[in-house]
């Protein structure tokens, strides 16, 4: 989700929903326990993972090494998983933009990913784009990963209350329904760990701080470990 004048959307979301779209850089947090644990040695074959999405993966407003993919990689390695996560998050991406660059992204990977983590749809929601189009684009993305036999974790989003019940009725079911259809692991609401926690959100009231990212990693790392297919052999 690109740094653009969409803050008025974020302000309308309130404590019920925080979604990427605008903001200023947050103060640098203190080193976390996750970073210290990341020094532990790992063994076994390297596990390539592709993080594909918007600014929630790109790490908007954060320093190098503080994005969700970077911190998740550290957490996985702390558990002995020899993970290498390619961060293909692009700030500002809608589901349509993600679909447009999907082939290029997959063809650019040096090896086929064991797992893909997808975070798209937040910008569609912020722009009040048609949920029908959002569903169609996400379904095409999931279908492509399925054709390539790449397991997927789908990071779910929820509609902002100010968009109304009709929009929410059409938007919110997209993630669980597509996850079920394409046998993806679903994180129902990716930003749940930072909701109503101002110290975990950047001054833009939208993006997680580095400490907020760590909270999200802690809440999701088990799903990632479980979703990784067992190494061949």
Residue 111 token pair:
């090896």
Report CA-CA distances (Å) from 176 to 19, 31, 136, 181: 18, 35, 14, 9
Measure the CA–CA gap between 53 and 92, rounded to whole angstroms. 9
Tell me whether residue 204 is one of the annotated catalytic residues: yes
- Structural fold of domain 47-227: Rossmann fold (3.40.50)
CA distance 206 to 7: 8
Pick the catalytic residue: 6, 54, 67, 207?
207
Examine the pLDDT at 20 and tell me if it is beyond 60.
no
Contact 49, 115 (CB under 8 A): yes
The pLDDT of residue 32: 42
Average pLDDT over residues 68-91: 97
Q: How confident is the model at residue 40 (pLDDT cuts 50, 70, 90)?
A: low
Mean pLDDT of 78-85: 96
Please tell me the distance from the alpha carbon of residue 84 to that of residue 196, in angstroms, as a whole number.
32
pLDDT at 231: 77
Q: pTM value?
A: 0.84
pLDDT of residue 31: 40
- Alpha carbon distance 133, 64 (integer Å): 33
Distances (CA, A) of 128 to 83, 138, 172, 229: 36, 16, 13, 36
Distances (CA, A) of 147 to 138, 143, 154, 211: 14, 6, 16, 36
| pLDDT at position 113 over 90 | yes
Q: What mean pLDDT is reported for the chain? A: 86
Q: 55, 67, 91, 119: which one is catalytic?
A: 55
Distance CA 54, CA 23 (A): 14
Confidence of residue 230 (pLDDT cuts 50, 70, 90): confident
Q: What is the pLDDT of residue 97?
A: 98
**What does the pLDDT look like over 131-145, one tens digit per residue?**
999 999 999 999 999
Whether pLDDT at 146 is above 70: yes
Q: What is the pLDDT of residue 176?
A: 98
The yes-or-no verdict on residue 26 having pLDDT over 90 is: no
- Is the distance from CB of 157 to CB of 163 less than 8 angstroms? no
Contact 190, 164 (CB under 8 A): no
Q: How far apart are CA 146 and CA 124, in angstroms?
A: 23
pLDDT at residue 180 tops 60:
yes
Verify whether residue 55 is a known catalytic residue. Answer: yes
């Amino acid at each position: 989700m690109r740094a653009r004048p969409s803050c008025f959307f974020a302000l309308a979301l309130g404590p019920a929903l925080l979604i990427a779209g605008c903001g200023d850089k947050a103060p640098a947090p203190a080193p976390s326990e996750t970073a210290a644990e990341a020094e532990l040695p790992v063994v076994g074959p390297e596990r390539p993972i592709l993080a594909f999405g918007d600014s929630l993966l790109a790490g908007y407003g954060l320093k190098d090494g503080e994005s969700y993919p970077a911190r998740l990689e550290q957490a996985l390695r702390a558990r002995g998983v020899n993970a290498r996560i390619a961060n293909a998050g692009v700030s500002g991406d809608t589901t349509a933009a993600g679909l447009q660059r999907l082939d290029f992204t997959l063809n650019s990977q040096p090896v086929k990913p064991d797992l893909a983590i997808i975070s798209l749809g937040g910008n569609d929601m912020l722009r009040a784009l048609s949920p029908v189009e959002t569903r169609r684009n996400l379904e095409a993305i999931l279908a492509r990963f399925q054709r390539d036999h790449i397991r997927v974790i789908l990071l779910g989003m929820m509609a902002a209350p100010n968009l109304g019940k009709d929009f929410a009725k059409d938007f919110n079911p997209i993630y669980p329904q597509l996850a079920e259809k394409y046998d993806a692991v679903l994180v129902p609401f990716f930003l749940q760990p930072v909701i109503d926690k101002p110290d975990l959100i950047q001054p833009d009231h939208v993006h997680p701080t580095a400490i907020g990212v760590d909270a999200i990693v802690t809440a999701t790392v088990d799903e990632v470990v479980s979703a990784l297919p067992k190494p061949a052999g």
